[in-house]
Amino acid sequence: MHRLIKEMFLKYFSNPVLARLGDSAEITKPKNRIAFTTDGYVVQPIFFPGGDIGKLAVCGTINDLAVSGASPKYLAVSFIIQEGFPFVHLEKICQSMAKTAKEAKVKIVAGDTKVIENREAQTGQQKNGAEIYIITTGIGIYPPFMKDYSLGVEKIKPNDLVLINGGIGEHETAIILAREEFEFKAEVKSDCAPLNQLISDLLLICPRIRFMRDPTRGGLATTLNEIVESTNLGIIIDEQAIIIKPAVKGICELLGFDPLYLANEGKVVIITARTEGEKLLARMRKDKLGKEAKIIGEVVKKPKGVWVRTKLGSLRPLLMLEGQQFPRIC
Amino acid sequence: MHRLIKEMFLKYFSNPVLARLGDSAEITKPKNRIAFTTDGYVVQPIFFPGGDIGKLAVCGTINDLAVSGASPKYLAVSFIIQEGFPFVHLEKICQSMAKTAKEAKVKIVAGDTKVIENREAQTGQQKNGAEIYIITTGIGIYPPFMKDYSLGVEKIKPNDLVLINGGIGEHETAIILAREEFEFKAEVKSDCAPLNQLISDLLLICPRIRFMRDPTRGGLATTLNEIVESTNLGIIIDEQAIIIKPAVKGICELLGFDPLYLANEGKVVIITARTEGEKLLARMRKDKLGKEAKIIGEVVKKPKGVWVRTKLGSLRPLLMLEGQQFPRIC
C-alpha cells in the first residue's frame, strides 16, 4: 500500500522539489520573513457539495497563511489512513488537492502517510467506513511591502470598518446536509475556496489593512468575539448587511442554530481604516470570491463586546458560544 | 476540551512566536535556503522504554531535517485525539515534547488539535484505549557553509565508507516488547534521540559528507537498499562491525526477524569519502549519541546491490524487504 500511495503522490503532486523524495524538501532562500501554520482535517463526510477533505485541507492552510498577510508558497501533507480505506477515494482526494494547490499557485513539496488499523471494523460491528485524516502545514512568504508591518488585533482602532467577502454559514450547512441525519433536502454548497489571490490583491491596494481572519469553526460571531477579547474595544455589526442564503436560514430555523456561529471556509473578515473601506469593497467585488462583499459593521470604543444592530435598530449582544454546534466540520 | 488543550500548549511550549497564537507563526527571514519535512506518528503503545509518542514525534522530524544537512529550528505540531483520551497522558506527552525540543534547541511555534469520536468505544466492544496521533512538521535552515552544497545519493562514489553511530534495532525491539504480546521479558530501551547536534558537529569538521539518512522503518537494510537503488553502485557491510545488543538478538531469534531490518530512531547512516572516515569516527565517539560509532562498510562499483560480509568472509545479499515486519512502530 505504501508503494502505491507514494506513486500516486508523485503522479498528482509532482514538482521538482517533491520529486527528489529526500528526507526533507529543499526550498530556496526566502526573500522576506515567513509564516508557518499547521492544521488537521477530520471532516465527516469526506465528500460534500462544494468540496472534499482534500480541497478543504489545502484551502484551510492556505487561508490561515493568507490572512496573516503572507503569500502561501509550500505545503507539506501528512495522511493518516485506516486500513481498508478505498483507494479510489484516496485518488479522488489527491486529484482534488492537486487541482486546488495548482489554482492557488502553491506547491506540495513534502508528504508522509501512515496506515493504522481499523479498530471499529475489528469489533465486527462497523457502522462507518474506514477513515482518513489529512494534516497540512504551510509556509508563506511575506511580500516586500510587508517587510516592516504585521497585521494584528493591536492595530485595530475605534471607527474602523468590518468587511466580509460574502454570505455566511454555507460550509457548515453543507456538511450538516451531507450527513443526511435530518429529513431536509436543500442544495447548499460549501464555500470552501483558497483566498490567497483575493487577499493579495487587497493588500496591494491597501498594504496597511489592520487585521484579517477567516471565520471558520464558530463562525463570524466567534471570530469577532476573539477580536474584541484581545482589544478591549467593541464591534457592532449590522444584521441587514449580512447575507444568509435561504437554505442556510432554513436549516438554522429547523435546528435552532444561529447562522452567525456557523463555520465558513471561503470567507475572510477584514478590519480596516474607515477611509479604505469603499476602495477595498470595490476591489473585492471584482473577484469571483468577493462578488457579494459587504461592509458589515464598525469598531467602537463603547459598548465593549460584540453587538448586532437589528432591523429595528436595537442592539443585541453576540456572545462567545461555549461548546461547538457540530463536531468534525473541518 | 479545546480550551484546556490550548492552555496546556501555551504552558509547555511557550515562546514569543507561539504566544501570539495567530493563524500562523511569524518567523524571521532565514539566512539561507530552508529544509521542510512532515511526518505522522501513530506508535502503539504511546509510552515505551526510552520514550513516548511525543518524544518520537519531535526527534523524528528533527532527524529528517538534520540528515539533509539543515539545522532544525521550528516545529509545527498537530494532534488528532480521540474522545476520552486521558488528559494526564496528554500532559505527559506535551512535557516530553517540550523537554526534547528544548534539548535539541528547536522551537514549537504552531499547533492545532482536532478531537474525533472513538468509534470503537461506540460499538460497546472497546478493547483498546482512546488513541492519539501526532503530526510534526519542521523547518530547518542550512548553515552558511552549505550554501552551495546539497548532500545527496548522487554524491556517493565507489570506495566511500559507510558509518553508523551505534547499535541497531533497539527502537523496534523496545516497541515489540512494550506491546507485551510475547512472553519474553527483557530490558531494551528505544534509541529515540535528536541527532541534530551530533550531525551539526560532524558537518563542521567535514562539510562535504556525501549523504546521510536515519535508518527508521525498515532499518539499516532498507536504507542501504534505497541508496544503491538510486546510485547503480554496491554496498558491502561487515557483519562483525555491526553492534546488536543481546536482547535485540534474542527477540530476533525468537520471532525470526533479521535485526538489520528493525527500525532505529536515534541512528544516522553516513556515507563519506574514505579519507574522512577516521576523523568522523573520532568525532562521533566524543558525543554521547555516538560512543559506539563504527565504520561498518564501503561503497563498491561491483557487485551492485547490498551485501553482508559474514564472519567467514563470504558475501550474502541483503535484499529489500517487501511488506513490513510490524505496524505502528513510529
pLDDT at A35 over 80: yes
pTM over 0.90: yes
Q: Which residues of B touch A40 (CB under 8 A)?
A: 78-80, 112-114, 135
Average pLDDT of chain A, as a whole number? 92
Query: Which has more pLDDT, B325 or A191?
Result: A191
- A321 band by pLDDT with thresholds 50, 70 and 90: confident
- A13 band by pLDDT with thresholds 50, 70 and 90: confident
- A207 band by pLDDT with thresholds 50, 70 and 90: very high
DSSP string covering A262-295, please?
S--SS--EEEE-GGGHHHHHHHHHTSTTSTT-EE
pLDDT at A325 over 70: no
Interval A155-184 mean pLDDT: 93
DSSP string covering B241-269, please?
G----HHHHHHHHHHT--GGGS--SS--E
- A181 band by pLDDT with thresholds 50, 70 and 90: confident
How confident is the model at residue B323, as a pLDDT?
A: 62
Report whether the peptide linkage leading into residue B303 is cis, meaning its omega lies within 30 degrees of zero: yes
Residues with Cβ within 8 Å of residue B55, at least 6 apart in sequence = B96, B97, B99, B100, B192
Q: Is A18 helix (H, G, I), strand (E, B) or coil?
A: helix
Cell of A149: 508591518
How confident is the model at residue B62, as a pLDDT?
A: 98
How confident is the model at residue B125, as a pLDDT?
A: 73
Identify whether the C-beta of residue A326 lies closer than 8 Å to the C-beta of residue A257: no
Q: What is the CA radius of gyration of chain A?
A: 21
Are B25 and A32 inside 8 Å of each other by CB? Answer: no
Interval A253-278 mean pLDDT: 96
Beta strands in chain B (DSSP E): 25-27, 34-41, 47-48, 51-52, 71-82, 107-116, 132-141, 161-164, 211-213, 234-238, 269-272, 294-300, 305-309, 315-317
User: What distance in Å separates the CA atoms of residue A86 and residue B264, rounded to the nearest whole number?
Assistant: 31
Helix or strand (DSSP H, E) at B66:
helix B53-66
Q: Which residues of B touch A27 (CB under 8 A)?
A: 33-36
Identify whether the C-beta of residue B111 lies closer than 8 Å to the C-beta of residue A38: yes
How confident is the model at residue B22, as a pLDDT?
A: 65
User: What distance in Å separates the CA atoms of residue A200 and residue A70, rounded to the nearest whole number?
Assistant: 8
How confident is the model at residue A1, as a pLDDT?
A: 64
Are A327 and B115 inside 8 Å of each other by CB? Answer: yes
Place of cell 471584482: A286
User: What distance in Å separates the CA atoms of residue B53 and residue B59, rounded to the nearest whole number?
Assistant: 10
Q: What is the CA radius of gyration of chain B?
A: 21
Identify whether the C-beta of residue B35 lies closer than 8 Å to the C-beta of residue B70: yes
User: What distance in Å separates the CA atoms of residue A282 and residue A290, rounded to the nearest whole number?
Assistant: 9
Q: Which residues of A touch B27 (CB under 8 A)?
A: 33-36
* Tens-place pLDDT, residues A62-110: 999 999 999 999 999 999 999 999 999 999 999 999 999 999 999 999 9
User: What distance in Å separates the CA atoms of residue B13 and residue A25, rounded to the nearest whole number?
Assistant: 25
Interface check for A316 against chain B (CB to CB < 8 A): the answer is no
How confident is the model at residue A20, as a pLDDT?
A: 58
Identify whether the C-beta of residue A101 lies closer than 8 Å to the C-beta of residue A107: yes
What's the CATH architecture for B2-146?
2-Layer Sandwich (3.30)
The domain locations on chain A are 2-146, 153-317
Are A29 and B27 inside 8 Å of each other by CB? Answer: no
User: What distance in Å separates the CA atoms of residue B282 and residue B290, rounded to the nearest whole number?
Assistant: 9
User: What distance in Å separates the CA atoms of residue B265 and residue B259, rounded to the nearest whole number?
Assistant: 14
Q: How far is A152 from chain B (nearest CA, A)?
A: 8
Are A37 and B76 inside 8 Å of each other by CB? Answer: yes
List, in sequence order, every residue forming a beta bridge with A294; answer none if it has no partner.
A164
pLDDT under 50: residue ranges of chain B? none
Instruction: Give burial (CB, 10 Å; 0-12/13-18/19+) of A99.
Output: middle
How confident is the model at residue A323, as a pLDDT?
A: 62
Picking from A165-174, A267-276, B67-76, B142-151, which range would have the lowest pLDDT averaged per residue? B142-151
List, in sequence order, every residue forming a beta bridge with A163; answer none if it has no partner.
A270, A295
DSSP string covering A46-100, please?
SEETTEEHHHHHHHHHHHHHHTTT-EEEEEEEEEEEETT--HHHHHHHHHHHHHH
* Contacting B residues, span 57-76, partner chain A, CB-CB under 8 Å: 64-65, 67-68, 70, 74, 76
What's the CATH architecture for B153-317?
Alpha-Beta Complex (3.90)
Identify whether the C-beta of residue B66 lies closer than 8 Å to the C-beta of residue B106: no
Are B67 and A135 inside 8 Å of each other by CB? Answer: no
Are B34 and A33 inside 8 Å of each other by CB? Answer: no
Q: Is the dihedral of CA A314, A319, A325, A328 positive or negative?
A: positive
User: What distance in Å separates the CA atoms of residue B9 and residue B81, rounded to the nearest whole number?
Assistant: 14
Q: Which residues of B touch A133 (CB under 8 A)?
A: 80, 114, 116, 133
How confident is the model at residue B25, as a pLDDT?
A: 87
